[in-house]
Amino acid sequence: MALTLEIASQTLFPQLQSLTIFTPSDSALASSGQPSLSLLRFHFSPLPFSSQTLKSIPFNSKISTLSANRSLIVTSFPSDHHVSLNGIKVNGTAIYDDGSLRIFGIERFFDLGFHINESDGNHSPDIRCVPMVNDGSMSFDRASRVLISKGYSVMAWFLSLQLGAIEEQTLLTVFASVDHVMLVRNFEDFKEYSSIFLGHVLPCRISWTDLLASDNGTELSTFLEGFKIKIKRSGNVLTINEVPITSPNLYYNDWLVVHGVRDILQPKKPKETAIFSSQTSSRRVNLNSNFQTPYRVVKGMQNRPHEIPSSDVSEEVESDLIILMILAAEAWPLAMAARFGVA
pLDDT of residue 44: 92
Q: Which residue has the higher pLDDT, 210 or 308?
A: 210
Residue 322: per-residue pLDDT: 55
Burial of 324 (0-12, 13-18, 19+ CB in 10 A): buried
- Looking at the chain, the number of H-run helices and the number of E-run strands are 11, 17
Asked whether the beta carbons of 186 and 35 are under 8 A apart, the reply is no
The string of pLDDT tens digits covering residues 76-86 is: 887 788 999 99
Q: Does domain 141-340 have CATH number 1.10.287.1060?
A: no
How many other CB atoms sit within 10 Å of the CB of residue 325? 21
pLDDT at 228 over 60: yes
CB 284 within 8 A of CB 314: no
Q: State residue 191's pLDDT score.
A: 59
Confidence label for 53 from pLDDT (cuts 50, 70 and 90): confident
pLDDT at 303: 32
Q: Which residues contact 276 (CB under 8 A, 6 or more apart)?
A: 191, 194, 331, 334
Per-residue pLDDT tens for 117-149? 655 555 444 454 544 444 555 677 888 888 888
Domain segments of the chain: what residues? 16-120, 141-340
Architecture of domain 16-120: Roll (2.30)
pLDDT of amino acid 106: 95
- Give bridge partners of residue 101 from the DSSP assignment: 19
Strand order in 243-252's β-sheet?
201-202, 172-177, 256-261, 243-252, 237-240, 228-234, 219-221
Closest to 177 in 3D by CA, of 260, 69, 88: 260
* Residue 21 confidence (pLDDT): 93
pLDDT band, very low/low/confident/very high, at 286 (cuts 50, 70, 90):
very low
The pLDDT confidence band at residue 258, using thresholds 50, 70 and 90, is very high
pTM over 0.75, yes/no:
no
pLDDT at 297 over 60: no
Same fold, 16-120 and 141-340: yes
Q: How much is the average pLDDT of 267-282?
A: 41
